[in-house]
Amino acid sequence: MENDTQHGYPNLPPKVFLFILIANIIGTNVFIPHYFTLEFAFSIWTWSLFADIVFIITMTLSLIIPLKLHAKNGDIFTNGLICGGLVYFGYMISWFFVCNLSDEFSMDDYTLVYHGYWGALACMITSMIMMAKTDPNYIDSKQKNNVKCPNCNKLLRVPNTFTGNANCTGCDNEFRVVSLNGLSVAVEVGEIPDSVNHSE
């Protein structure tokens, strides 16, 4: 029985949607802390379709990259900072296209984008909360174990939930990796019957 969360990041589409909304609403509020408005947050989508697409792509990557890094190394703080930096960079790319492709703005207005730090900050905090709340089963499935090649004793890295055949990068020996309770064991092919591992 395979766990769904091993294949992709859990509940990613609603997370990405919420993240883009926060990036959009807080990022367009360049007047914080003086006042807060939803006016620009919604009208910004009407200025350039191409910039909209660029914004959606850059913001999606700004969330997914840090989340995947977090699943691998467990570092919430550094990956949160990476997220904030990517968002700020994504604003700069998207706003470049708004200035160049829309009738409403020109490159004279480009410097407005430097005020997007509130959005970058909000996105950074949002990503950190998402990382902190990530399903531990998913994190586990992304963790790696060392196994020793039974033939040449070379240490190899495998996901700690991986059960299946592996090829040694040192001697090209094929062996089987069996995962149990987060531990990985390497055994020679033939030691256990194939049918044991076809339980999914």
Residue 165 binds Zn ion, judged by CB under 5 A: no
| Among positions 110, 173, 185, 197, the unique one binding Zn ion when judged by CB under 5 A | 173
Q: Are 115 and 30 in contact (CB under 8 A)?
A: yes
Q: What residues have CB less than 8 Å from 141, skipping those under 6 apart?
A: 3, 5, 6, 159, 160, 161
| Among positions 16, 86, 124, 168, the unique one binding Zn ion when judged by CB under 5 A | 168
Residue 149 binds Zn ion, judged by CB under 5 A: yes
| Beta-ladder partners of 167 | 174
Least distance in angstroms from the C-beta of 186 to Zn ion? 9
Least distance in angstroms from the C-beta of 124 to Zn ion? 43
**Euclidean distance between the first and the last CA atom of the chain, given in angstroms as a whole number:** 5
Residue 157 binds Zn ion, judged by CB under 5 A: no
What SS3 state is found at 154?
coil
Residue 152 binds Zn ion, judged by CB under 5 A: yes
Residue 11 binds Zn ion, judged by CB under 5 A: no
Residues in contact with Zn ion by CB under 5 A are 149, 151-152, 154, 168, 170-171, 173
